[in-house]
Amino acid sequence: MTASEPVPAAPALPRRRLLGAVGAGAGSAVLLSACGGQDGTGTAEPVAPSTPVDAGAVEDIPVGSAVKVDQEGVQAVVGRPDRDTVAAFSPVCPHQGCMVAPREKLYVCPCHSSEFDLATGEVLAGPAESGLTPYPVMVQDGRIVLG
């Protein structure tokens, strides 16, 4: 072929085939995006507190329950397994990075239902194979301090 010769056009796809290909591509994009983002069900990197962060009053967490904390760029789950214990962990599930949520004396991953112990962060049910990353936590004057 020379520069003066016309370039043959690519064969056109029938409309149904074209729409099917577009639909399949969009479906793949939706599936891939389901594992991304930080909307509570997507992946995220844990951000441990580098300076002390006030996570709230101990009395605001009933014994046997936990809360999600998002303060000063630090996200955590903070549990009070018994009257004298407070434990804090990264909310990022080690399986695929989804954000766990407190539920009935444990933490549960909404993506694949891994379960983690409220006091230790250890995995109780998979598919996760390891526990939640612990955060340093202490109680000062009735306040929970991360970091």
Query: What is the domain-level CATH number for residue 84?
Result: 2.102.10.10
Instruction: Tell me, yes or no, whether 111 lies in a domain.
Output: yes
The pLDDT mean for the chain works out to: 76
Instruction: Tell me, yes or no, whether 136 lies in a domain.
Output: yes
pLDDT at position 34 = 34
**Domain span at 113:** 53-146
Instruction: Tell me, yes or no, whether 108 lies in a domain.
Output: yes
* Cα–Cα distance measured from residue 91 to residue 121, given in angstroms and rounded to the nearest whole number: 10
Number of independent structural domains in the chain? 1
pLDDT at position 47 = 67
pTM higher than 0.85 for the full model?
A: no
Instruction: Tell me, yes or no, whether 126 lies in a domain.
Output: yes
Two tokens at 101?
């949520």
Segment 77-92 shows an average pLDDT of 94
Q: What is the pLDDT of residues 37-69, one digit of tens each?
A: 334 444 456 667 788 999 999 999 999 999 999
pLDDT at position 50 = 82
pLDDT at position 51 = 87
Segment 89-118 shows an average pLDDT of 92
Around 18, how many Cα atoms within 13 Å sit in the side-chain half-sphere? 5
> Strand order in 53-57's β-sheet?
53-57, 143-146, 137-140
What phi, psi does 91 have (nearest 5°)?
A: -80, 5
Instruction: Tell me, yes or no, whether 77 lies in a domain.
Output: yes
pLDDT at position 30 = 32
Instruction: Tell me, yes or no, whether 88 lies in a domain.
Output: yes
Instruction: Tell me, yes or no, whether 2 lies in a domain.
Output: no
pLDDT at position 48 = 73
Instruction: Tell me, yes or no, whether 32 lies in a domain.
Output: no
Segment 97-120 shows an average pLDDT of 92
Q: Is the pLDDT of residue 72 over 80?
A: yes
**Higher per-residue confidence, 36 vs 98:** 98
Q: Which of 140, 75, 136 is nearest to 101 (CA)?
A: 75
Q: Decide if 76 contacts 91 (C-beta within 8 A).
A: yes
Q: Is the pLDDT of residue 133 over 50?
A: yes
Q: What is the DSSP letter of 63?
A: T
